[in-house]
Amino acid sequence: MADPRQDLRTPYGSMSRNLSRRTFLGLAAGAVTSALLAACRREAEQAGPPAPGQTPGPSPTPAAAQTAGPSPAPAEPTPRQEAVRGVEIPKFDNPPPGRPSGSKPEELVIAWGVNQLTTYGIDPQRHVGTVAESQLRHMYEPLVAFDRDLQTIVPALATSWERIDDLTIQFKLRQGVKFHNGEPFNAEAVRYSILRPLSDETPGASRSTYAVIEDVEIIDDYTVNIKTSRPDPALLARLTGFHMTIVAPKWASQGPEVVSREANGTGPYRLVSWSPNEDLVLEANEEYWGDPPEIKRVRLVTITEQATRVSALRAGDVHVATAMPPEEIASINASGRARALRVVGNRVPFYFITIEVPPYNDKRVRQAINYAANVQGVIDAILLGNGYRIATVLPIWAFGYDPTLEPYPHDPEKAKQLLAEAGYPNGIDIKIWYIQGRYPKDKEVAEAMAQEMAKANIRCTPELREAATLTDMQKNKETPGLVFASWGNWFFDADNTFFPLFSCAQAKDYNFDWRRPYCNEEFDKIIQAARVEMDVEKRRQLYAEAQRFFYDDAGALFMYQLVDIYGVNNWVLWEPRNDEMIWAHEMKWNE
Amino acid sequence: MAGERASVPTLLTPFADVRARRSAMQRALRLLRRNRLGLLGTAILSTVVLAAILAPFLTSYDPMIGDITKRLTCPVLTWCPSFMPGATPVRGSLDHPLGTDQLGRDIFSRIVYGARVSLIVGLAAVLLGAGFGSTLGLVSGYYGGRVDALIMRIGDVFLAFPYLLLAIAIVAVLGGGLLNVIIVLAIATWVPYARIMRGSVLSAKEQEYVIAARAIGVRDLALLFKHVAPNCITPIIVFGTFNVAAAIIAEAGLSFLGLGVGATRPTWGNMLADGRAYVATAWWLATFPGLAIMLTVLSINMIGDWLRDALDPHLRNIE
């Protein structure tokens, strides 16, 4: 009778163990789905004091800290940030590196489970996938970037910035930076690069996210004004995005074919070799404007099978491997060659609910589903604790996240009662549409929730489909019920979750089919107002309001943030990031 | 009267004769007693069939609904591996004699219920495929000419595709589900039956009893099904028996690929597919359904061997 799992769980509490496989992957489905750029949220903070002489309090803080060029101290939290965020990121008690075995590797090998460089090659400005971003950001940089806390925006190719009016931010550019091919980095390069993914010739896959950018004015060689068509409180965060990386303009104007197979950025690594479906090989850029990376040669590879990644890690063929299975954590740590490191990740799986179809059109039914699914129980049992339960669909570090909102508890009795009130005293029969193999334990989680819901008389028919098939079925409105989705909010701002997933504008863009089944006018008013609200505090309150509405309306089946589990060879010193970025320049050899 | 009956039947329907059949059956049983493998196969298969029929009485757990807090419990007499640092290994118990799977469902229950799917698919696919294929073979062999050429060329086209690949392609179009899987396997396997039947018919239709029947005015349809078919059915039975095993494996293969009767239904193929991800950590997930498939298929093959011997007229004198 003893329950092994129970014993195992205790030491870690709810946040426990491993995470499952990493989430990357953009959803191929909607063009937009996956990308992660990190931008928005920072902007919001800064934008706060937009109005010129507004208040004494929050001056555009980052700017102050950054005038100095290099090595800007990790932006100290300003009062404003405390107010905005203040959300502590849970930490795992990760094992320290053990003794390296064998001789020091000649190159660092990082393995992902998916290859996203199949559509646009190694053109950094057109992909939306997280894996592609993680890989190509070794070579390309944006003007500004999120710090590891995902709450502070720090200088990258821009050294300082200042909001001039509601429509304009002025950037001072870093001087003396050269692209890998020797071209100088200057205002012309910035103008060219920022407008490039917005153009019709080389449209980025999530161009609509940046469409608010109207123009880039060159003030002098090292000063630009970025102008938007409407007030955009998230502009600065938006500019941290993957599409907003800076490419060498003369070289890139040779055309997209060239950019898709060569690389000339300003980043800490330069391209050695790549061809489609081959490894991406990089070497350190010794002329990098910051500290050159300590690891000189890097190979980025794809190993699709999870079990193969695990054995490659064990064999020492791979030094950093993504998405390790939770069950393998103990054995990886015991291997003496590598260790499993865990962080709360940025990816949020959830289920759309087709709210136009009975019985899902009744809010009480949707609430009942949320009460019955026992998400925390599923996290504990199936993911061995490697998921972080959240109240809605916003990651905890997103601007606008409301930490006071408690997730739906597991309450089958309440669920039954809600169903009875809605006129279904005998329960309901629903369908759950899901995929397999893309995210950690996606299939098991879906089936476990179906099992749990059955205990509250919500009888689920499991409908497992291949991802592309499911997308087609959503287009044809053939998926009534709960439909799997996953989102990585790449600039950590509520706008970049609510607007692309749950706004009426987006539903309309998708022809009101079931790739975006949620459109509620009352909710829409709130999120539209927040989109242009330049006052940080007011904007934050708008999003708090939006979350409460969305939570009460049970607009989706709310789940968790994935916990990312990395296998890391003992030769490598590294602290994993929360935003799914795996960068060799943040690693060192353990010598 | 008696004399007439003695002479005419031998001429017309030697094997279809009731007495002859009974003796064939007796002979088969006699052979079975001496054939230990056949006996073993029969015993195993009977157990599987009984288990499938009596599934609700044999199991105390719902095969579809598990308890996620009892997930990955190991089988009785074994120690559960520890997945977390510091965890104490736990011993498996009789609560779940074969352990539980990744969702906490009892593996023994799922195997027993899975036997239903496997047996139904195996038998139904073979009956359907054999019925369809041998009818076409009968027609093809008996009428010959253009009909024969047409049917056999269509058969050649089917044979040009690998068996499982063809099944996968058809499932992709029709969609999964129990009925569809049966239909698919029947479609993918009808050709060999047609060929075997056609071969037998080609030789049978030249036999005196057929000529005699035609001579006394028996009509085509009656001739085919009353006189020709019964004399050509033996190889089909033997071949079909082996094919039950093949169909069970094919169903498992389709389920393994996610093209079977549905993702959460307890079938051996589904269990194998789900267990694959846990081979390194929880061996029992894939091991037991694998054993079930192996034993069932093995037993059917042993029975097939025995049937082949028992029904082969050339071996008749050897006993």
Please write down the HEC assignment for all residues of A337-376: CEEEEEEECCEEEEEEECCCCCCCCCHHHHHHHHHHCCHH
The reply to whether residue A4 touches residue B72, judged by beta carbons under 8 angstroms, is yes
Residue A16: list chain B partners with CB under 8 A: 84
Locate the chain A residue with the closest alpha carbon to B73: A4
* pLDDT of A586 above 90: yes
Residue A1: list chain B partners with CB under 8 A: 93, 95
pLDDT at A467: 86
CB-nearest to A1 from B88, B93, B282 is B93
Mean of the per-residue pLDDT values for chain B?
A: 84
B249 Cβ neighbours under 8 A, 6+ residues apart: B293, B297
Locate the chain A residue with the closest alpha carbon to B282: A327
B18 touches chain A (CB under 8 A): no
Residue B84: list chain A partners with CB under 8 A: 8-9, 11-12, 16-17, 329-330, 384
Distance in Å, alpha carbon of B81 to nearest chain A alpha carbon: 10
pLDDT at B68: 86
Greater confidence (B173 vs A37) lies with: B173
Which residues of B, range 270-289, sit inside 8 Å of A by Cβ? 274, 277-282
Locate the chain B residue with the closest alpha carbon to A324: B277
Please tell me whether residue A41 adopts helix, strand or coil conformation: helix
Residue B104, Ramachandran bin (φ over 0: left; ψ between -120 and 50: alpha; else beta): left
pLDDT at A167: 95
What's the token pair of residue B120? 């139904």
* pLDDT of A198 above 70: yes
B175 touches chain A (CB under 8 A): no
Q: What's the rounded mean pLDDT across residues B237-264? A: 86
The reply to whether residue B264 touches residue A462, judged by beta carbons under 8 angstroms, is yes
**Residue A349: pLDDT band with limits 50, 70, 90:** very high
Q: What's the rounded mean pLDDT across residues B17-25? A: 59
Chain A interface residues facing chain B, Cβ-Cβ under 8 Å? 1-9, 11-12, 16-17, 306-307, 310, 325-331, 333, 377-378, 381-382, 384, 436, 443-444, 447-448, 450-452, 454, 462-464, 466
CB-nearest to B66 from A325, A451, A462 is A451
pLDDT at B314: 66
The reply to whether residue A1 touches residue B90, judged by beta carbons under 8 angstroms, is no
* pLDDT of A236 above 90: yes
A447, A460, A478, best to mutate vs chain B, most B CBs in 10 Å: A447
Locate the chain B residue with the closest alpha carbon to A463: B263
Q: Express each pLDDT in B76-106 by its tens digit.
A: 888 877 665 455 667 778 889 999 998 989 9
Longest dimension (CA), chain A: 75
* pLDDT of A216 above 90: yes
Greater confidence (A13 vs A152) lies with: A152
Please name every residue paired with A340 in a beta bridge, in sequence order, or none if there are none: A567
Mean of the per-residue pLDDT values for chain A?
A: 85
Question: What is the DSSP code string of chain B?
Answer: -HHHHHHHHHHH-TTT-HHHHHHHHHHHHHHHHH-HHHHHHHHHHHHHHHHHHTHHHH-SS-SS---GGGTTPPPTTSBPPP-STTPPP-B--TTSTT-B-TTS-BHHHHHHHHHHHHHHHHHHHHHHHHHHHHHHHHHHHHH-HHHHHHHHHHHHHHHTS-HHHHHHHHHHHH--SHHHHHHHHHHHHHHHHHHHHHHHHHHHTTSHHHHHHHHTT--HHHIIIIIIHHHHHHHHHHHHHHHHHHHHHHHHHHHHTT-SS-TTS--HHHHHHHHHTTTTT-THHHHHHHHHHHHHHHHHHHHHHHHHHHH-GGGGGG-
* pLDDT of B251 above 80: yes
pLDDT at A465: 86
pLDDT at A151: 86
Residue A98: list chain B partners with CB under 8 A: none
pLDDT at A4: 37
Distance in Å, alpha carbon of B33 to nearest chain A alpha carbon: 46
**Residue B24: pLDDT band with limits 50, 70, 90:** low
Distance CA A584, CA A576 (A): 11
pLDDT at B167: 83
| pTM of the predicted model as reported, rounded to 2 decimal places | 0.79
**Residue B108: pLDDT band with limits 50, 70, 90:** very high
B71 touches chain A (CB under 8 A): yes
The reply to whether residue A4 touches residue B279, judged by beta carbons under 8 angstroms, is no
Residue A307: list chain B partners with CB under 8 A: 277, 279-280
Q: Express each pLDDT in A502-525 by its tens digit.
A: 999 999 988 899 999 999 999 999
**Residue A293: pLDDT band with limits 50, 70, 90:** very high
B73 touches chain A (CB under 8 A): yes
Q: Which of A122, A25, A23, A22 is nearest to A468 (CA)?
A: A25
**Residue A72: pLDDT band with limits 50, 70, 90:** very low
What's the token pair of residue A294? 């300590």
Greater confidence (A429 vs B232) lies with: A429
CB-nearest to A444 from B103, B262, B282 is B103
Q: What's the rounded mean pLDDT across residues A488-512? A: 92
Locate the chain B residue with the closest alpha carbon to A380: B69
Q: What's the rounded mean pLDDT across residues A253-276? A: 95
**Residue B19: pLDDT band with limits 50, 70, 90:** low
Q: What's the rounded mean pLDDT across residues A141-148? A: 93
pLDDT at A375: 96
A13 Cβ neighbours under 8 A, 6+ residues apart: A385
Greater confidence (A319 vs A331) lies with: A319
* pLDDT of A40 above 60: no
pLDDT at B20: 54
Residue A433: list chain B partners with CB under 8 A: none
Residue B254: list chain A partners with CB under 8 A: none
pLDDT at B57: 92
pLDDT at B26: 77
The reply to whether residue A447 touches residue B263, judged by beta carbons under 8 angstroms, is yes
**Residue A119: pLDDT band with limits 50, 70, 90:** confident
Q: Express each pLDDT in A89-118 by its tens digit.
A: 888 889 999 899 889 999 999 999 999 998
B179 touches chain A (CB under 8 A): no
* pLDDT of A396 above 80: yes
Q: Express each pLDDT in B194-203 by its tens digit.
A: 999 999 999 8
Q: What's the rounded mean pLDDT across residues B148-159? A: 93
Size of interface A-B (CB pairs under 8 A): 97
Greater confidence (A293 vs A39) lies with: A293
Residue B99: list chain A partners with CB under 8 A: none
The reply to whether residue B280 touches residue A381, judged by beta carbons under 8 angstroms, is no
Greater confidence (A330 vs A523) lies with: A523
Distance in Å, alpha carbon of A438 to nearest chain B alpha carbon: 13
% residues pLDDT > 90 (chain B): 37
Residue B258: list chain A partners with CB under 8 A: 436, 464, 466
Cβ atoms of B198 and B152 within 8 Å: the answer is yes
Buried b (16+ CB within 10 A) or exposed e, A101-140: eeeebeebbbbbbbbbbeebbbbbbbbbbbbbbbbbbbbb
